[in-house]
Chains A and B, each alone.
Chain A
Amino acid sequence: MRLGNHLRISLSISAFYGLALGMWTICDSATAYADAPVVGLITKTETNPFFVKMKEGAAKEAKEKGAKLMSAAGKFDGDNAAQVTAIENMVTAGAKAILITPSDTKAIVPAIKKARDAGVMVIALDTPTDPQEATDALFATDNFKAGVLIGQYAKAAMAGKPAKIATMDLAPGITVGKLRHDGFLQGFGVKEGDPSIVCSQDTQGDQAKGQTAMENCLQKAPDINVVYTINEPAAAGAYQALKAAGKQKGVLIVSVDGGCVGVKNVKAGIIAATSQQYPLKMASMGVDAGVEFAKSGKKASGYTDTGVTLISDKAQSGVESKDTKFGTDNCWGK
């Protein structure tokens, strides 16, 4: 009987593999682009709508330009090992150019160097590597400017009232978070360590962590009236905490991203203003540069600002902004 079982199991396993692999052969369209230039896109995660939009933009542009797009991502934000593996596999697969949003801006540098040594052009999207020159080029939002815009907006909206500021930051050591934070402070006209900054917490850009962080800040300083948030999920979390404490009315929340959910929250008055960025544009420009390099050998270089727009329905004098209709038309995600 044992033998029978073994046989049955072996047979069913073999059958399964046969089936699975067969399906793959049918689904596989990889061979259709045998001679098309290959461009790789490596994002931080597969789940964040920002990167989903980025991938969409890249896929669309690749199709139009007749390139083959390979994509990969880490399992979580900060998953450097998976990005290293993805770079190696793409180089082996013959990619001409690799577009990457580095999860760990420093740790990824040696892997990028190896790829560039192998003749691949590497462009950082959204997040610069540390040092920035580790990649051939950077296509990204000016995150400092994104921070300055919401800082200026918050300053104007407070109209001279004394501010008690909470900052919902990203995580230590991540450049994007520091740039936005510093930009906000400069826009608002305060220095780091100013007594008006009553609470600073890391949120990892996560809604649940943003909520916890804001709850703790309210314990520390119940009279907070300006909340800077690293992104819109963190803003939504902060709003939840304020609402639970019955304080959502008198508090001004500003944020960065311009995702569709975020813009909706601006429209609903939950977020006062947000700096919108354009992941689709980063990706399509990246693919263009990759195709160009494959065709002519001309490399992209330096930093290209992919633009940032302040979105708010309550415009403040002296601060240029667009309304949520513009924001909705240009937002990413759903």
Chain B
Amino acid sequence: MTPPSAGHDSSPWRVLRERLPPLSLMGPFIALILACIFFSLQSDRFLSGQNFSLILQQVMVVGVVAIGQTFVILTGGIDLACGMVMALSSIVATKFAVDIGIDPYAAMACGLFVAVLFGCLNGVLVTVIRLPPFIVTLGTLNIAFAIMQIYSHSQTVSDLPDALVFLGNTFHIGETAVTYGTVLMVFLYIIAWLVLRETAAGKHIYAVGNNAEAARLMGISTRNVLIGVYTLAGLLYGIAGLLIVARTGAGDPNAGQTDNLDSITAVVLGGTSLFGGRGVILGTLIGALIVGVFRNGLALMGVSSVYEILITGILVILAVSTDRLSKRGA
């Protein structure tokens, strides 16, 4: 490989390249489109508004968790506790509403509060005691899991008040029933995109992820940025907790066990670098959708669900290789 030289080409290719979104985003997008075309050819039930609404509904929980995960990964961290914090928050919200019988909206707020608390705890441990995020969140993963099992006695909470499952209700656009939760997910993505793109806080997150020391020398408080990011991520896991309650109609103490890896998968498929500092939040949504489209499409074709796992594995390797190679080429 030849070393890069400045200003070595001004061909139309270069102009085209600069106009297009980065390869890390285009790759997953092309993959998503190809997958959709393929499944449309394979099953006449795939290409319908109702089915796309269903896919969105199936990815909304992991999709919202993955927003938080993207923020954390952009700072060069990782959050293994996300799924458990989400599940704990959902158990708190449902048990407070059903067993204690407080107002469902207050119960939801309590669930969100617990999640924010865990996020803040992660942030403090990462910055103040300077522990690696992997270890910190491995610890809080187990703590959240244990608290949830102890508090719920490993029992599912059912017979929920309507307010708790409201986000799982639907409204109609034409023939298509759309879940309120999916609208919330899309809304959260747009907010996150604007925050990362347009605000100083967003630029600081990228800066800390690119080079924490340089960011500090520039006068950015890395500590505040990191605590803020982990706390915000906690809030998002709490919202995901409300979504999973709404989606399944129950407080499930077995929930969230694979959401940490599933959300990291979405982030990586979406082209965000696991080394921090590079990535686009909308890629994460595409990453989550790729997994959802394969799961749904293969199911419609009658292919066993293990193949979805196989394909996800291959895609992850492909995505990371692309990231690696494009970085080396730069």
Contacts and interface: CB of A to CB of B under 8 A. Distances in A.
User: Are A and B a genuine interacting pair, yes or no?
Assistant: yes
Interface of A: 1-6, 9-10, 13-14, 16-17, 20-21, 24-25, 28, 30-31, 38, 46, 68-73, 75-76, 78-82, 84-86, 88-90, 92-94, 103-111, 171-173
Contact of A104 (B9, B34, B45, B156): B156
A107 B306 contact: no
B146 to A, nearest CB: 14
A45 to B, nearest CB: 10
Interface in B277-330: 295-296, 299-306, 309, 311, 314, 318, 322, 325-326, 328-330
Interface stretch (B103-111, B213-221, B245-253): B245-253
Contact of B248 (A6, A16, A107): A107
Given A17-B31, A30-B301, 6 more contacts: A2-B4, A80-B252, A81-B244, A104-B252, A110-B250, A173-B154
Contacts of A14: 30
Contacts of B224: none
Interface of B is mostly: helix
Interface stretch (B50-58, B112-120, B181-189): B50-58
Interface of B: 1-2, 4, 9, 11, 13-14, 17, 23, 26-27, 30-31, 34, 38, 42-43, 45, 50-51, 54, 57-58, 61, 153-156, 158, 165, 244, 247-252, 254-255, 257-258, 295-296, 299-306, 309, 311, 314, 318, 322, 325-326, 328-330
A6 B249 CA distance: 46
Contacts of B158: 106-107, 109
A110 B292 CA distance: 21
Contacts of A71: 304-305
A108 B244 CA distance: 12
Contacts, number: 155
B157 to A, nearest CB: 8
A5 B326 contact: yes
Contact of A68 (B13, B61, B302, B311): B302
A79 B305 CA distance: 13
Contacts of A84: 247-248
A89 B300 contact: yes
Nearest to A80: B252
Given A10-B27, A111-B248, A81 B301 contact: no
17 contacts: A3-B14, A3-B17, A6-B329, A9-B325, A13-B31, A28-B42, A46-B304, A71-B305, A79-B254, A81-B247, A88-B57, A89-B58, A93-B43, A93-B299, A104-B250, A107-B252, A173-B156
